[in-house]
Each structure stands twice: as structure tokens, then as C-alpha cells.
């Protein structure tokens, strides 16, 4: 395709999208409807990022000034940021040694009279122990918000994981299982009250917004009147645009295949590290499906073979591997939060020892290859290195 033809094709697509929007056939509404059907949720609200979805979810749950929100100590820092933005306090708790997800026992130990919500994170595509977490939440009347940015179509006992929390937030950032062109997100819930609150907060507080997509029907004589009042709440412009929604719809059609490919690649990685006593992958319970946003291991090659994390990384890349990611810094160890004091917690080293130990040792290998054969080439390099070093 030459440049002029490509430009014309893009212009035609843009015009088609805008024409359909004018005719009232909203691509955002279509995307929300299709997402709800796919994920078996009563309500889906499209937003411009996973972070804004988390922000709206906390506001919908009534989290505000001086409340506390329990969250894991291995996660992206945005979970803490949105908590701070609503005036609440993040309470970091340690993770399970085997699954690396938030530990239900640590959640219960940290609940106080100020606790309002729990943010769970399905790390790298592995669902949390949501059954136990929901029992704890029900006992203490808390709202559970799952950051499912890395978990699409995961299941527990054959049931979609996302339907087992109060509110679920997805991200369509370009590295995720599906994307909407670089940024975007979706908030799902089966609770009408939460859905309406999320939609209003993410839609600038328009009074006509309800739980379902779109505004309530109004005759033009009402909203064209100078006395018409449009806003009854303070909100944010977190709305998704039609082009992003159109791309999301296309990705949603092939999501099963995208997830299946990552799961196949994850299994290939599992075979490559089998019987290696210095590379330990996340423990996957028998009743859980892992969707492998990435394939991660706990690396202990230095204590066994005196080969540091960085030395292994450099050798893997030298041999043709794509490299791999380190785990994010524990949120409270980042410069923006470190050494601050919130309540009884001092955000510094030693707060969550299991998570801190894991953070320094995790290697996260990419799984978003377009072809299984390319992934196998990279995995073969890893397997050969392990064999040469000694399992």
C-alpha cells in the first residue's frame, strides 16, 4: 500500500466512525455491550485508561478522606496513587510466598475501623485467592476492587475470575492481552449502584448518566433550554473515544486466540525451567487458569551458581534472547512514596519482607509473541543456558 492510498484508507475509516457516532450508533456503547457479553458482567464502563478506571472505582465505592485501602506490596504504583488521590491511605500488606499474590491472612491482620476497600492484583495473569478474600470482605463490609490489568479470561473452578469481585478494572495498554491502540480501560461490575457511580465520575458528572451505557432519553426542548442543568456531581473526563473503542472491539473478537497463545507460550516456559532448582515459577493451584501476561520466575542463581541476576540477563541477551523484565519496585520503595509515614506504617525497607525478597529476584519473560515458533526459539535459548549452568 502506498502512502496516498494508506492515508485515504485511514481518512475513510475515520469518516465512517464519525458518521456512525453522529447517527447515534456509538462505538463506545458497542464496545461496552460486547465486553459485558464476553465477560458475563451486568455492566461495563469504558474509560481512557486502567488507572482512571481504578480512580473511578474507588470513588464509586465511597472511599474518601482518611479511609484506608488494603493493597498488595507487589504491584504497579498506580494502585497507591489513585488511593492517595481520593484522600485515602494505602495500607501495604505482604504476599503469599508461592503465588506472589496478596495474602488473605495479611489482609485480615491489617483491617482497622478505617478500612473501606481492598485492591487485589492478579499478578502476571494468576488470579488471587478471591474466595477467601471475599469472605473476609463480607465479614468486614468491605468493597473488593480487582486490578485485572494482567488477567483476561482467567477462571477459578471453571468460573470467570472477574465475576467474583465487586468491581473489576481492566487495562488495554499496548502490552496487555488485548489493546485498544495503546491506552484504554474497562470497569465491570454486577452492582447497579457501583456502575452508575463509575459512569458518572468518569463522565464529568452528567446528571443524565445511569448504570447502563448512554444518557437517559431527553427531548431536545429540555436540554436546549437555558434553564437546563447538566451536572449534579463533580466528575472527571475519563471517557473513551470512538476510535479507541472501535479498535477494542476488533481485539475483543480475537481475545480467545490471544489468551490461548500466551497460555501455550507460558506452558513452553514451564517446561524449559522444569527441575531447575534455582528458577521457581509462580505456583498455580489446580483449580486456577493462569493467562500468562508474562512468565515469571524467582531467580536464585547467585546463591547456587554465583551468577547474578544482571549477569544472567546479559548472557541471555547475548545469545539472542529478548531480555526479560525485573519486577517493579515495591510501591512504598519508590522515591515518590519512600520514607513517608501513613498511620502505623512507615514506608521503607522491611515493611513487607516476602515481597521485598521476591522483587529483587523476579525475572519476567515476555509472552506477547505473535507466533508460537518465535517464542520457542527464545525459550530454547533459555533452556540451553539452564542445561549448561546445571539444573
Question: Read out DSSP for 139-157?
Answer: HHT-EEEEE-TT-SS-EET
Task: Determine the angle formed by the axes of helices 50-60 and 192-202, rounding to 10 degrees.
Answer: 120
Q: What is the pLDDT of residue 19?
A: 63
- Coil/strand/helix, residue 319: coil
**Is a pLDDT exceeding 60 seen at residue 333?**
yes
Nearest alpha carbon to residue 362 among 354, 350, 370:
354
Phi, psi of 69 (to 5 degrees): -125, 115
- Tell me the three cell numbers of residue 333: 520503595
Q: What is the pLDDT of residue 225?
A: 79
Q: What is the pLDDT of residue 296?
A: 98
What DSSP state is assigned to residue 63?
-
In the beta sheet, which residues pair with residue 215?
209
Give the domain 255-389 fold. 3.90.1150
Q: Which helix (H) or strand (E) holds 350?
A: none
Q: What is the pLDDT of residue 26?
A: 83
29-50: pLDDT as tens digits:
999 999 999 999 999 999 999 9
146-189: pLDDT as tens digits:
999 999 999 999 899 988 999 999 999 989 999 888 899 999 99
Nearest alpha carbon to residue 177 among 257, 234, 112, 116:
257
Q: Which CATH architecture has domain 3-253?
A: 3-Layer(aba) Sandwich (3.40)
- The alpha-helical segments, DSSP class H, found in the chain are 3-22, 27-39, 50-60, 78-85, 104-109, 130-140, 192-202, 220-223, 242-253, 255-273, 301-305, 309-318, 353-359, 372-389
Q: Which of 12-26, 121-135, 136-150 has the lowest mean pLDDT?
A: 12-26
- Tell me the three cell numbers of residue 141: 463490609
What DSSP state is assigned to residue 167?
E
Contact status, residue 242 vs residue 26, Cβ threshold 8 Å: yes
Confidence of residue 3 (pLDDT cuts 50, 70, 90): very low
Taken in order 223, 227, 228, 234, is the CA torsion positive or negative? positive
Phi, psi of 230 (to 5 degrees): -90, -30
Contact status, residue 30 vs residue 164, Cβ threshold 8 Å: no
CA distances 322 to 133, 146, 264, Å, are 36, 30, 18
What's the gap between Cα 3 and its chain centre? 36
Q: How far apart are the first and last CA of the chain?
A: 50
Share of the chain above pLDDT 90, in %: 79
What's the gap between Cα 67 and its chain centre? 23
Domain coordinates of the chain in residue numbers?
A: 3-253, 255-389
Contact status, residue 78 vs residue 51, Cβ threshold 8 Å: yes
CA atoms within 13 A on the CB side of 322: 16
Q: What is the pLDDT of residue 36?
A: 96
Model-level pTM?
0.91
Taken in order 245, 171, 77, 375, is the CA torsion positive or negative? negative
Q: What is the pLDDT of residue 24?
A: 47
The DSSP bridge pattern shows strands 279-281 and 294-299 to be antiparallel
Contact residues for 296 (Cβ-Cβ < 8 A; gap 6+): 100, 124, 281, 282, 327, 362, 363, 364, 365
Confidence of residue 2 (pLDDT cuts 50, 70, 90): very low
Nearest alpha carbon to residue 54 among 126, 141, 174, 146:
146
Amino acid at each position: 500500500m502506498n502512502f496516498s492510498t494508506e492515508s485515504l484508507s485511514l481518512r475513510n475509516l475515520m469518516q465512517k466512525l464519525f458518521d456512525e457516532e453522529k447517527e447515534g450508533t456509538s462505538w463506545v456503547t458497542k464496545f461496552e455491550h460486547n465486553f459485558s457479553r464476553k465477560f458475563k458482567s451486568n455492566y461495563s464502563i469504558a474509560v481512557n485508561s486502567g488507572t482512571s478506571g481504578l480512580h473511578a472505582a474507588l470513588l464509586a465505592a465511597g472511599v474518601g478522606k482518611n479511609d484506608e485501602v488494603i493493597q498488595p506490596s507487589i504491584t504497579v504504583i498506580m494502585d497507591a496513587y489513585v488511593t492517595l488521590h481520593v484522600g485515602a491511605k494505602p495500607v501495604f500488606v505482604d504476599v503469599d510466598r508461592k503465588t506472589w499474590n496478596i495474602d488473605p491472612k495479611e489482609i485480615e491482620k491489617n483491617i482497622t475501623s478505617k478500612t473501606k476497600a481492598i485492591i487485589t492484583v492478579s499478578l502476571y495473569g494468576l488470579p488471587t485467592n478471591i474466595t477467601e478474600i471475599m469472605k473476609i470482605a463480607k465479614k468486614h463490609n468491605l468493597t473488593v476492587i480487582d486490578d485485572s490489568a494482567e488477567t483476561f479470561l482467567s477462571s477459578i473452578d471453571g468460573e470467570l475470575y472477574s465475576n467474583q469481585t465487586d468491581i473489576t478494572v481492566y487495562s488495554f495498554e499496548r502490552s496487555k492481552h488485548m489493546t485498544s491502540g495503546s491506552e484504554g480501560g474497562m470497569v465491570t461490575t454486577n452492582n447497579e449502584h457501583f456502575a452508575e457511580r463509575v459512569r458518572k465520575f468518569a463522565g464529568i458528572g452528567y446528571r443524565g448518566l445511569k448504570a447502563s451505557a448512554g444518557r437517559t432519553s431527553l427531548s431536545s426542548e429540555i436540554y436546549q433550554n437555558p434553564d437546563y442543568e447538566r451536572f449534579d456531581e463533580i466528575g472527571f473526563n475519563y471517557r473513551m473515544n470512538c476510535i479507541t473503542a472501535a479498535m477494542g472491539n476488533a481485539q475483543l473478537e480475537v481475545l480467545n486466540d490471544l489468551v490461548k497463545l500466551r497460555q501455550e507460550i507460558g506452558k513452553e516456559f514451564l517446561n524449559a525451567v522444569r527441575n531447575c532448582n534455582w528458577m521457581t515459577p509462580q505456583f498455580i493451584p489446580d483449580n486456577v487458569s493462569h493467562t500468562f501476561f508474562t512468565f515469571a520466575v524467582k531467580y536464585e542463581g547467585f546463591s547456587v551458581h554465583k551468577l547474578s541476576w544482571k549477569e544472567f540477563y546479559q548472557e541471555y541477551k547475548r545469545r539472542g534472547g529478548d531480555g526479560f523484565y525485573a519486577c517493579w519496585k515495591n510501591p512504598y520503595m519508590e522515591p515518590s512514596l519512600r520514607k513517608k509515614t501513613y498511620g502505623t506504617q512507615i514506608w521503607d525497607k522491611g515493611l513487607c519482607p516476602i515481597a521485598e525478597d521476591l522483587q529483587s529476584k523476579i525475572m519476567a519473560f515476555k509472552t506477547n509473541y505473535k507466533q508460537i515458533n518465535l517464542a520457542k526459539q527464545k525459550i530454547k535459548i533459555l533452556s540451553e543456558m539452564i542445561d549448561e549452568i546445571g539444573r
